Amino acid sequence: MKLFKSITLLMLLACLAFSAPTFPKLNNSRVVDDAGLFDENQKINLDKKLANHETNTSNQIVVVTVKSLDGYDISDYGYQLGRYWGIGQKDKNNGILLIVAPNERKVRIEVGYGLEGILPDATSKTIIQNDILPSFKKGDYYNGVNNGVDKIMATIKGEYKPAKPTNQNTPIGFLFPILFIVIIFINVIPKSEDKKKRLIPAIISGSVAGIISWVIFFVLGVSIFIAVIVFLLTLFGSNSNWSDGNYHPTSGGFGGSDFGSSDFGGFSSGGGSFGGGGASGDW
């Protein structure tokens, strides 16, 4: 498992290295107040409102305030941030970012591909001019953002319905049966303390796991990966961990939980994309 962890870490690092501007962390929240414009209550209020909207429509709206745009144009910064965080559901691209840069005195509504139809740029511009900027000019950021969010939600309300909860809405759901098979294999094969004698069972179980995952996933990379993991586990894994009485498989729990939705109160972005839709304003 250490190997798996280090690979994931490496991939994360690689992703980080390629993103151009420095973005604030999403931190499982719909209100990312990096510039510190809101107090706790205001944040909770906004978050609740946005969470409610997502449950009813599956649209993901995120309010973000940034200390600095790093010298980027706010429209350039906005779509990159939206893509980086992956706001919106993957199949609908229904994410919206409301970006406030108080130091540059700029605000932007960044609209995901899937909402460009119902929230055209001219409408975003009107919302900025009529609902957001009047409060911003008075220094009242919370009211401006709150009004803007209300107007955006009212505009995009009817466009999408929440997805019906299904048992397997993430590929992660598929991993559990495979993991199960893997564990069974490791338990069934007689373990020998002698590493050399383990080699053949390891090769067999590795290739069997690889074939099974090939049948299920039909992706070469994944099945090779699983095959290698099973091979290594069988070869080097200590038998005492797996076959003693302490191991209780939690059967029946697989696939029941709903990873894609945010009913748990936390927030996870859905992987939506952006193409530069929306409008900006300054004050």
Partner 1 sequence: MKIVGIIVGVLLLLAALVVLPRINNVPKLDENVNMYASQLDNQYKRRSDLIPNLVATVKGYASHEKDVLTQVTEARAKVGQMTLTPEVLNNPEAFKAYQNAQDGLSSALSRLMMVTENYPELKANENFLQLQSQLEGTENRIAVARKDYIEAVKDYNLELRTVPGKWVAALLYPEAEVKQNFTTTPAESATPKVAF
Q: Are 216 and 228 in contact (CB under 8 A)?
A: no
CA distances to 1, 2, 89, 111, 186 from 83, in Å: 30, 30, 12, 11, 41
Least separation in angstroms between CB 180 and partner 1? 27
Tokens of 109: 């509504």
Query: Which 3 state secondary structure label does DSSP give 95?
Result: strand
Of the candidates 23, 79, 85, 141, which one interacts with partner 1 according to CB under 8 A?
A: 79
Of the candidates 102, 120, 177, 255, which one interacts with partner 1 according to CB under 8 A?
A: 120
| Residue with smaller CB distance to partner 1, 10 or 184 | 10
| Residue with smaller CB distance to partner 1, 37 or 111 | 111
The contact pattern for partner 1, residues 173-212, with x = CB under 8 A and - = no contact, is ----------------------------------------
Q: Are 89 and 274 in contact (CB under 8 A)?
A: no
| Residue with smaller CB distance to partner 1, 231 or 274 | 274
Enumerate residues 6+ apart whose C-beta is below 8 A from 202: 230, 231, 232, 234, 235
- The total of other beta-carbon atoms located within 10 Å of residue 26's CB is 18
Any idea which residue has 């992660």 for tokens? 172
| Residue with smaller CB distance to partner 1, 189 or 235 | 235
Of the candidates 71, 221, 253, 265, which one interacts with partner 1 according to CB under 8 A?
A: 221
Any idea which residue has 């139809």 for tokens? 117
Residue range at the interface with partner 1 (CB under 8 A); choices 50-58, 146-154, 186-194, 273-281? 273-281
Q: Are 5 and 12 in contact (CB under 8 A)?
A: no
Tell whether residue 76 is a contact of partner 1 (CB under 8 A): yes
Per the DSSP assignment, residues forming a β-bridge with 277 are 111
| Residue with smaller CB distance to partner 1, 78 or 173 | 78
Least separation in angstroms between CB 278 and partner 1? 7
Tell whether residue 21 is a contact of partner 1 (CB under 8 A): no
Of the candidates 60, 65, 124, 269, which one interacts with partner 1 according to CB under 8 A?
A: 124
Tell whether residue 215 is a contact of partner 1 (CB under 8 A): no
Of the candidates 1, 17, 122, 215, which one interacts with partner 1 according to CB under 8 A?
A: 122
Q: Are 198 and 191 in contact (CB under 8 A)?
A: yes
C-alpha to C-alpha distance for 195 and 218, rounded to whole angstroms: 32
| Residue with smaller CB distance to partner 1, 128 or 186 | 128
| Residue with smaller CB distance to partner 1, 173 or 277 | 277
C-alpha to C-alpha distance for 202 and 186, rounded to whole angstroms: 9
Least separation in angstroms between CB 124 and partner 1? 8
Let me know if 14 is exposed, middle or buried by CB neighbors in 10 A (0-12, 13-18, 19+). exposed
Any idea which residue has 């009813």 for tokens? 56
Tell whether residue 1 is a contact of partner 1 (CB under 8 A): no
Binding-site ranges for partner 1 (CB under 8 A): 75-76, 79, 120-122, 124-125, 220-221, 274-280
